[in-house]
Amino acid sequence: MKVRQKRFAYIMVGLMVIGIATALILNALNSNVAFYFTPTQVFNKEVPLNKAFRIGGLVEAGSMKREGDGLTVHFVVTDTARSMPVVFKGILPDLFREGKGVVAQGKLEADGVFRAEDVLAKHDENYMPPEAKSAIEQAQKQKGVKP
């Protein structure tokens, strides 16, 4: 093998190793990334099927109900345009309240209920998750445009 052929072979092997490493990294990232959607986007079926994502907005007043086991909680997340029923089994954050901002991560089930695996709530009086705030502002703009 000539020097030029050896150099070409090394470059090709190097490119293959870099390509395989990149594919493995992207695959790992893709399985761990949870995109954020609003209830309106979920209603418009813009969400990936059978994949975890985040939903955010306000916890609708009067929507929170606990089951007899004390751990399963049903509530509704709204962006003021659309609402999404959410089921969460676990301990809610101390600051979780009706009428306050929330972001829940989980999967949408076939019956249209979002089963949350993790729930995040605001952490002070004036704070609202940026995604939830943006979703509410966008929904209010859409309400203003549509009669």
> In this predicted model, what pLDDT tens digit does every residue of 46-78 receive, in sequence order?
887 778 889 988 899 999 999 999 899 999 998
Average pLDDT over residues 31-52: 83
Distances (CA, A) of 44 to 38, 40, 96, 111: 10, 6, 27, 15
pTM, two decimals, is 0.68
Q: Answer whether residue 134 is part of any domain.
A: no
For residues 66 and 87, membership in a common domain is answered with yes
How much is the mean pLDDT over the chain?
85
- The structural domain count of the chain equals 2
Q: 8 and 76: one domain? A: no
74 is in an annotated binding site: no
User: Is 127 annotated as ligand-binding?
Assistant: yes
22 and 42 within one domain: no
Q: Are 81 and 58 a contacting pair, CB within 8 Å?
A: no
Give the whole-angstrom CA distance, residue 69 versus residue 71. 6
Band of the pLDDT at 45, cuts 50, 70, 90? confident
**Residue 4 structural domain:** 1-32
| 97 and 63 share one domain | yes
Q: What does the pLDDT read at residue 129? A: 66
Taking 3-state DSSP, the helix, strand and coil percentages for the chain, each rounded to the nearest 5, stand at 35, 30, 35
Residue 124 binned pLDDT confidence (cut-offs 50, 70, 90): low
Asked if 23 and 6 count as a contact pair (C-beta separation under 8 A), the reply is: no
Residue 132 falls inside a structural domain: no
| Integer Cα distance of 56 and 78 in angstroms | 8
Q: Both 52 and 2 in a single domain?
A: no
Q: What is the pLDDT of residues 88-104, one digit of tens each?
A: 999 998 888 888 888 89
If asked whether residues 55 and 116 sit together in one domain, one would say yes
